[in-house]
Structure 1
Amino acid sequence: MKLIQLFWVLIFTSQSILSLATPTFKIKPSPVWKTKINFDPQGNAHKNEGSVSYLLLDWQDNEITKEYNYRYCMSLNDEDAVQSNSQLYFTFDPSYEELCINTIKIYRNGKIINKLNRDKIELMRNEKNVERYIYDGSYSAVCILEDVQVGDILEYEYTLKGANPIFKNHFYNYHSQAFSSRIQHMYYQMLLPEHKKYQVKNLFGGVAPIQSTKNGMQSISWNLKNVAPIFTDEDSPSWYDAYPASEISSFQDWKEVRSFMQDLYPMNVVCPKIKDFISKKKIRANEEGVIQIIRFVQDEIRYLAMSNGVNSHKPHHPEKVFEQRFGDCKDKSYLLSYMLKEVGVMAWPAIVNTNAKRYVDRYVPSPFAFNHVIVKINWKGKNYWVDPTFNNQKGGMDQLQNPRYGKALVIDNDKTDWEKIPENQINKVVINENFWFTDSISKIRYDVVSKFSGQIANIRRGWNLSNSLAENKDAYLDYCTRFYENMNWKHDSALIFRDNQKENTFTIIEKYEIESLWEHRGTDSLELYSSYFPYNMYEFMNSTNDKVRNAPLQITHPIDVELKINLHFPKHKQVAFEEEKDSVVNDMFKFHYDVSNNRLSNFVTLTYKYKSLQDHVPVEKLKTYYKDYNQVSEKCEYPVQWGMEVDPKFKIFGPAVFMAVLLIIGLFFWIRKLYNWDIKPEFQFGSVQDTIGGWLAFVALGLYVTPISIIYLIYDSGYFSQAIWDSFITQYGNQPFLAGGFYFFELLYNLATIFFAIFLIVLMHQKRSTFPKLYIYFRVIVLVGLFADNILGAEIIGSDAIDTKELSRGIVGAAIWIPYMMKSKRVKETFVKRLGKNKAQSEKTEELQVSKEMI
């Protein structure tokens, strides 16, 4: 008898084990407790609404029997709809759910075709999240439908029986009330025990439900007709939701949620192997010990989620996670909190929502308001927030970057519902790009040095160190060739990573060679051009082609980027650059750019600075953002003109030299005549100034600088170069002689200014009485010349802009020094000497002055 009993026990046990190992499903009619909802297969009024027209979405939950029924009726309007809906997937978790398929049918030409055939359904384990290292233990019953045609109406219905035991008597549901397709009829109902307490919260404009009590049950239902589609905008913040919805929860407040979560994370568990590990490693509650534990959990416990059944919310035992060396966010946070408490550091798991972030409290209280677990650490009176799923985090406690999750519900005994997670991330990027030019035809050396600090250093460290050097070189070269074609690595070791783990900085050094950047702007032009743009900065800026939108625009934040482009030219190549700077500032970001020209070393630096100020652009500020973004784009592109295709050897342009010599001869006779010009000084009696002092010192300084600066300008502009004059033929087409004449005017004007300034210097040191008037003439001539140069330049050679800086200096100088020369007492007392025949009179005047002073 005992053998027979043992036999049957073994039979039943083996059958139970087999049933657990092999999930199955049932085919049953619709549950009897359902409210019957009809639909008219011939009433599809929305065939032009898209690929699929939803005629009915009928979802009904029974929290008394723990049954959840889902029914779909849709019209397949084109081939895409047939393709995407000919395979049906009924997903369930066999550890606590039972799948019952109720209906699969097709309506065609007034006939009903039954498609529910058990032999056509196969069970498959889901692996859709394997690439994210998530295994949830779910299965799908897959039904591949045969003979599905455009115009068919498909109806299918299934029921899941059972609820996750981790929630015991609690329940929760989220009901979306709109989708991206029109819905002719949407019905949702939940049945509850008569006295069961619950909360309903309507979100984002969701419609309130109809609530009633009947036959010992509470009913909560929504009956929506002709639900319009809602289309979402790309690049909207994760916390933004455009779809109206309602939530139902049996949790009454956040304290109840925290109490529920506390039971899942007991800290009084026994973990002898963890204690032995801490003891052998001699880990203490100092900074080194805390960092050692954090890095161990982040880097040596790999991320892998086994979240089926109760483990959807309940973490595995810390000892098990420690031994198997893997776990999800719950497991790793639980382990980190436990290990820190073992060495005497206060630490608690904290639940957050990585999508809703700071707006997580807008949801109805429930554990489903959260999707992630991190750890709050209190060390030496200061709070730190650590995400144990991050890896490659370096630096000490001061370098710990709080994850940007907004706020958290900490699983401790505190009475506070929510704690704000301070934002302390410093994402600093400093990039230096160098272009080294030899000439216009040789290869160009292009170097990039990028230094990342803060959380972005952790991200870049992870990206680069997780790939091989060959993979990284291929990716970097592919990125750069989007902007600069015909380039390659300079040599095999041209990609270098420098990891300063103590300061938590990560530096990337890239060295390339570019075949050429210079190209002709037009088919008939001999001039070569290239343009430069801060491409490496733009990857941190956000824009979108979707200019008409209803959602805010997400932007990268926080980020602080400084990028410099250094253009190094050979010593023999003189390239003119205008120094300039400008800024664009709004509530979302601030941008600054600067162009500086180092003539001594012959290189130009383009400096760009961008810093985000918030994480999104509100809808009402999108217009301003787009306008400013476009303004930044315009300022970022910097064109450079090289000149002739091949730099010719210097050859003197004879006519220019001839004209210069003639002018110099003419200036010599004219200056000689002016030198002999003599006028009676305004000074008669009073003190005589022996030195050039007071404000006259600035006049003298200006005169000294003028010849030097203009001589350099003549050299830099190539007035005597044959190549420059030849270029007028190709550059100015039908009016080369007019352009050349303008160039002659500039040359002669500049030569006259030089000699006039030198002549004034001589008169100034001789204290000639003619100096003030001639200096006034000089100022007027210079100002008139500046205006003529700008006006003629715009008319003859099509100059784009008037040199307002030079004109301003000329106008201000004239406005100051002309009145000074006319009114200043010191000027009158200084310039009193006369020439030749008046010399004795001048000396007599000086003797009278001396006698007067002696008396």
Structure 2
Amino acid sequence: MLLVIAAFAAHAQKVNTSPTPAWLVPYTPDLTKKPNAKNISDGYFLLLLEEQRQVELKSNYQHFIRQIISEAGIQNGSEISVDYDPQYEKLTFHKIVIHRDGKEINRLPNAAFKLLQKEQDLSRFIYSGTYTAYLILEDVRKGDQIEYAYSITGDNPIFNGKLDSRLYFVAYEPIVNYYKNLIVRPDRPVRFKLYNSATVPIQKMWNGLTVYEWNNVDIREADNNSYVPSWYNPFTRVQVSEYSSWKEVADWARKINVTPAPGLALSRKIAALKKAANGDKNKYLLQALRFVQDDIRYMGIEMGEYSHRPNVPERVLTQRFGDCKDKALLLCTMLRANDIAASMAYVNTDLKGTVNDMLPSPNAFNHAIVQVLLNNKTYWLDGTMSYQRGNLTDFCEPDYQRALVITDTTTQLTPIIPATRGSIVVRETFTLPDDENKDGRLEVTTAYHRDEADAQRAELAGTSMKDKEKSYLSYYKKLYGDVAIKDSITTQDSAAGNIIRVGESYLIHHLWKRDSINGKLQFTANAQSFYDVLSYISDEQRKIPVTLRYPYDLDYQIILRTPIEWSLDQSPLHIQNDYYTFDYSAEKKGNLLTLSYHYKTFSDHVPVKFIPQYVKDLKKMNEITSLDLTWKPDTMPVYRPAIPGNWLAITLALMFAGVFAYLATVYYKHSVWPPKESPQSVPIGGGLALLAIGLVFAPMGELMALCKMDIFNYNFWVTVSARKDLGNITLVQLFLVIEMIVNVFLLAYSVLLAVLFFNRRDTFPFALATYYFISTIFIYGDNTISNHLFNTHEPGSVFSLNSIFWPLLRMAIWVPYLLTSERGKTTFVMPYQTERKP
């Protein structure tokens, strides 16, 4: 790699000099004009900015005059720098003159330019071969005019001389005389697109060529807006393109993305992957993708035409590195070798879907991926992603929105429709001590799903655990003060399901803060994980869209284990619109407080028209991002229930209570004995007295259990609806409803049993046995499912066996007694009609 860079460095020529080009269109600036003094910064202004581009000669002429007005201008305006690519461009200076006191001082003959490599993208592992010609002017004084002009001749041969450019008409410094033109043959099919009130060029003929002229510039103040989408471009500009359609661009791309037959090394690799896949194309695709992603490192030498032309796959495999287009072509070659339909696709990671609003152009894109059609499904695969895991069907579509698929049938951009998304599930559990001198505890579990797991996996791979723990600890120290790590961070990577779980454990010293005035202790729980993803603005009159993190799905809970019962008077919050949804609920259950947040985005921005409502929503969301708990250790606050009831559940319970009461009445009229017979019944006595006590209290126990059910708590119902960790929420809610219905049924059944018992009905023994059997099955099944869904018991407990022990014991005692004892046989013999006789 170093040899390659050195070779190109040697190729970079010295700066050339020549007279001013003869092809220039005459332009005479008014050098007597002055700018508004209050707009001048840095101690100088531009008296002239002239740019002329002769497309047929591939030459771009630049002419500047700087007016130095202060000592600050000497510091800031006494250097000249020009960027160019020596692979296909030639830099020629025509003039460097200092105007002082009516005299011209020619500095061009002795100009000592330094050629510096301008590799600002090396941090992204991209080497472009661009250079900067840099000159420090000597003896510059206040009042001087620095005039210089140069030409850059040549363009990238990859475009075959096609005109494709963006002309910006914006500046953050005063420009007194401004002139820009474009000189082309009259037969060139030049197309223009104007943005943000850009002016239509003045068109004229000059020496048989067409000249398009502009002489207006938009002087702007620095843009201080935050949370701006990457695709938003407020600058006055004009796009110029000779490309007539996206099909023409796709045809150009097909010519430079030619896939030669695999060489020996690539053929061996393909054969090995086929053998490992054993005929399974899905498996082959995953293996090929992960090889390109993980084994071919990202490095781009994008000099000359290789800014757009990929290296041949055999070379990329051999050198084991390449940029996005190299990786994309290699992956396409490997997939096509196994009869998998794969095509390169160009996207723009910044402009995203707005690229569709541009004139067709190769330079509309900055990234290459792969489109795969397999088993009637479309997959968008990015070879530059590392640590992407999971099944192919669970891959999340990248948020590039539009792609130019490089095929012979392409006529327009293809939408990338998001169908699968990842999520983050966070649980912060605080254990608050019962004494201000004791330490509190914080346990954090975070589960990253799908593409969020991919991103987290890459971050974990690039960061030491020591640095990660230091970063996390610093995060919580800013929130809660004196925090120490209790146990090291734990990570669990389920590659098959593409889930990463991260566990953290902390001690919080002096968690309770005492108020020196009233002596109360206070702790504030902060929903920082939610707060951090919001784009906070306050200006309802903002005229620029607000960026949103997208796609994003956060399920976040703060769980507070408190030493006493707290009152809770926070109402749920639900916000739903086309751009995001948010749900908040607060639930109290004994000494446990649970704050639940669910935030999900549906767009990468909030449009200007919706900003006033967005600001209002932000205020609502901000109000519930923290919770203050205050108490005096020697007092016990009274719990004030402020949670509204779930009236839907209450209504269902009452409705089914009526249904079961009716069925109990029907069953009560059923008899074992023939209706006309009236057997003699002995009074209730003996051991049946104990059973009578149990049957009297059974309805009260069933009623208490029913009333304590979580489904009647509205906040619990809302919380369940927002929880991502429960899987299919509809099935969970159905389980809760069925659980409630069965409890209503058992309550009605227990009342029926008591009535049957004291009326010594002949149906009582069978009804009692059935009741015990149903209760046992229900209790065991209910506890098992509930534990599976909500993790409601401590590890290692035997809750299910304990819960069914007493129903089984009662059934083992009373059912045989009723069926075999003489008293049981002679007590419960009364038919329905017998008890109605006078």
Q: Specify the alignment match of 1:557 in structure 2.
A: 550
Is the contact between residue 155 and residue 161 of structure 2 (CA under 8 Å) also seen in structure 1? no
Give CA-to-partner distance per residue, 1:483-527, whole Å, 9 cap, x none.
111111113xx2111111111111111111111222234x32111
Give CA-to-partner distance per residue, 1:669-706, whole Å, 9 cap, x none.
xxxxxxxxxxxxxxxxxxxxxxxxxxxx9xx989x99x
Q: Specify the alignment match of 1:481 in structure 2.
A: 477
Q: Specify the alignment match of 2:295 in structure 1.
A: 300
CA distance in 2, matches of 1:614, 1:172: 31
Is the contact between residue 328 and residue 370 of structure 2 (CA under 8 Å) also seen in structure 1? yes
Q: How does 1:753-832 map to 2 (within 5 A)?
A: none
Is the contact between residue 246 and residue 410 of structure 2 (CA under 8 Å) also seen in structure 1? no
Q: Specify the alignment match of 2:27 in structure 1.
A: 37
CA distance in 2, matches of 1:466, 1:614: 29
Is the contact between residue 47 and residue 53 of structure 1 (CA under 8 Å) also seen in structure 2? no
- Secondary structure, counterpart of 1:584 in structure 2: strand
Cα offset for 1:556? Answer: 0.8
- Secondary structure, counterpart of 2:588 in structure 1: strand
1:597 matched to 2:588? The reply is yes
CA distance in 2, matches of 1:537, 1:642: 26
CA distance in 2, matches of 1:249, 1:496: 54
- CA pair 18-487 structure 1, distance change in 2 beyond 3 A: closer
Q: How does 1:16-415 map to 2 (within 5 A)?
A: 21-51=11-41, 53-76=45-68, 82-108=74-100, 110-149=102-141, 152-224=144-216, 227=219, 231=223, 233-281=225-273, 282-284=275-277, 286-415=281-410
Runs (5+) with no aligned partner, structure 2: 1-6, 638-695, 709-835
Give CA-to-partner distance per residue, 1:734-789, whole Å, 9 cap, x none.
xxxxxxxxxxxxxxxxxxxxxxxxxxxxxxxxxxxxxxxxxxxxxxxxxxxxxxxx
Give TM-score, length-normalised by structure 2.
0.72
Q: Specify the alignment match of 2:496 in structure 1.
A: 502
- CA pair 564-98 structure 1, distance change in 2 beyond 3 A: same
Letter in 2 for 1:161: T
CA distance in 1, matches of 2:554, 2:9: 59
Is the contact between residue 12 and residue 86 of structure 2 (CA under 8 Å) also seen in structure 1? no
Give CA-to-partner distance per residue, 1:277-315, whole Å, 9 cap, x none.
121342545211100111111111111111110101111
CA RMSD of aligned residues (A): 2.9
Q: Specify the alignment match of 2:625 in structure 1.
A: 636
- Secondary structure, counterpart of 2:574 in structure 1: strand
Letter in 2 for 1:294: L
Letter in 1 for 2:499: T
Q: Specify the alignment match of 2:576 in structure 1.
A: 585
Give CA-to-partner distance per residue, 1:594-619, whole Å, 9 cap, x none.
111111xx221111121223221111
CA distance in 2, matches of 1:82, 1:427: 54
Q: Specify the alignment match of 1:566 in structure 2.
A: 559
Give CA-to-partner distance per residue, 1:206-248, whole Å, 9 cap, x none.
2111223342212122122675557463221122111121122
1:490 matched to 2:479? The reply is no
- CA pair 27-549 structure 1, distance change in 2 beyond 3 A: farther
1:527 matched to 2:520? The reply is yes
Give CA-to-partner distance per residue, 1:358-388, whole Å, 9 cap, x none.
1212212221111111110111121100111
Cα offset for 1:438? Answer: 2.6
Q: Specify the alignment match of 1:464 in structure 2.
A: 460
Give CA-to-partner distance per residue, 1:715-740, whole Å, 9 cap, x none.
xxxxxxxxxxxxxxxxxxxxxxxxxx
Q: Specify the alignment match of 1:431 in structure 2.
A: 426
CA distance in 1, matches of 2:39, 2:302: 39
Q: Specify the alignment match of 1:823 in structure 2.
A: none
Give TM-score, length-normalised by structure 1.
0.70
Q: Specify the alignment match of 2:668 in structure 1.
A: none
Cα offset for 1:171? Answer: 1.9
Runs (5+) with no aligned partner, structure 1: 1-16, 651-696, 710-852
CA distance in 2, matches of 1:179, 1:227: 5
Is the contact between residue 56 and residue 72 of structure 1 (CA under 8 Å) also seen in structure 2? yes
Q: Specify the alignment match of 1:420 in structure 2.
A: 415
CA distance in 2, matches of 1:129, 1:78: 35
Cα offset for 1:81? Answer: 5.1
Q: Specify the alignment match of 1:776 in structure 2.
A: none
Is the contact between residue 24 and residue 52 of structure 2 (CA under 8 Å) also seen in structure 1? yes
Cα offset for 1:87? Answer: 3.1
- Secondary structure, counterpart of 2:97 in structure 1: strand
Give CA-to-partner distance per residue, 1:563-619, whole Å, 9 cap, x none.
11111124xx343334642323344322222111111xx221111121223221111
CA distance in 1, matches of 2:447, 2:70: 53
CA distance in 2, matches of 1:234, 1:269: 50
- Secondary structure, counterpart of 2:480 in structure 1: coil
Larger Rg: 1
Is the contact between residue 376 and residue 385 of structure 1 (CA under 8 Å) also seen in structure 2? yes
Q: Specify the alignment match of 1:769 in structure 2.
A: none
- Secondary structure, counterpart of 1:481 in structure 2: helix
Q: Which deviates more, 235-244 or 173-182?
A: 173-182
Cα offset for 1:149? Answer: 4.8
Displaced runs of 4+ in structure 1, greater than 6 A?
A: 17-20
CA distance in 1, matches of 2:333, 2:533: 38
- CA pair 179-381 structure 1, distance change in 2 beyond 3 A: same
Is the contact between residue 135 and residue 308 of structure 1 (CA under 8 Å) also seen in structure 2? yes
Is the contact between residue 230 and residue 243 of structure 1 (CA under 8 Å) also seen in structure 2? no
Aligned residues: 636
- Secondary structure, counterpart of 1:105 in structure 2: strand
- Secondary structure, counterpart of 2:290 in structure 1: helix
Identity of aligned residues (%): 29
- Secondary structure, counterpart of 1:483 in structure 2: helix
